[in-house]
Amino acid sequence: MTDVRCWTQQPHSPAGGIAPAVRLREVTKRYGKGAQAVTALDRVSVEIPQGTFTAVMGPSGSGKSTFLHCAAGLDRPTSGSVRLGSTELSHLKEAPLTRLRRGRMGFVFQAFNLVPSLTVEQNITLPLRLQGRRADRQWLTETVARVGLSERLRHVPAQLSGGQQQRVAIARALITRPEVIFADEPTGALDPQTAQDVLALLRQAVTDLHQTVVMVTHDPVAAAHADSAVFLAGGRIVTGLAAPTADRVAATMAQLRRAA
């Protein structure tokens, strides 16, 4: 299969090299106590380089969402270290962590998570307003054009298709020029063609804007848009694929299911 070492051992940054966008070191997350305790992540270490697109895959219950939540500071690990660039998240109190998430991360979820009463433009610029910042009109225009919503700015989410709503969510994630976009099953609620469009936008964010994207997905076709895929099983990163194709991802998933 693949070279497992690059994912299960801690790769060193080259001397003077750029810090990874996201770095997890020995991250363990346990839910509950005693006999009820579940170890959702078990000493996970990984470095996600800047300007890359990484798919996080694995069977149901393998820890993908927990991984994403810990990496994005939405959930705190039981032990271990999580860094965004050179900032250690585990030391931050709730208020600075919230500020960091708003300023330096973008989020795209399966359920879109738009505010129904706000227009497309207001939804896109919401992360800026939450930070007390005004939209840079040129960047807003460019971002809206990038996701193909220039004609829809005055609409509310209920007037849009699922694919259009997800494009609003991507524009909202891009508007702050975050260091990392975390996407949790971004195409899970979309038909295959609409999913392709959304994945192409995430790909462009990496290729054209040099963003870093970390995406949890069940879909081998979606994972094939990424530069690499990491595979979780039982809360551990068990293997990885560089330049994944849908066939290789599906074969790896089948292997993991058989081993479970």
Q: Does 217 bind ligand ATP (CB under 6 A)?
A: no
| Contact between residue 215 and residue 56 where contact means Cβ atoms under 8 Å apart | yes
Q: Does 188 bind ligand ATP (CB under 6 A)?
A: no
Q: Does 194 bind ligand ATP (CB under 6 A)?
A: no
Of residues 40 and 170, the one with the C-beta less far from ligand ATP: 40
* Binding-site member from 58, 163, 240, 244 for ligand ATP (CB under 6 A): 58
Q: What x/- string results for residues 30 through 49 when contact with ligand ATP is judged by CB under 6 A?
A: -xx-----x-x---------
Which of 145, 191, 151 minimizes the C-alpha distance to 170?
145
Of residues 112 and 168, the one with the C-beta less far from ligand ATP: 112
Q: How far apart are CA 70 and CA 177, in angstroms?
A: 21
Of residues 58 and 127, the one with the C-beta less far from ligand ATP: 58
Measured torsion, CA atoms of residues 164, 168, 171, 173, in degrees rounded to the nearest 10: -120
Q: Does 123 bind ligand ATP (CB under 6 A)?
A: no
Structure tokens at 116: 């129904």
Stretch that binds ligand ATP, among 54-62, 87-95, 152-160, 199-207 (CB under 6 A): 54-62
- What's CA 79's distance to the chain center, in Å? 21
The packing angle between helices 192-207 and 162-174, to 10°, is: 10
Q: Does 252 bind ligand ATP (CB under 6 A)?
A: no
Q: Does 236 bind ligand ATP (CB under 6 A)?
A: no
Which of 144, 180, 183, 148 minimizes the C-alpha distance to 163?
148
Interface contacts to ligand ATP, rule CB under 6 A:
31-32, 38, 40, 58, 60-66
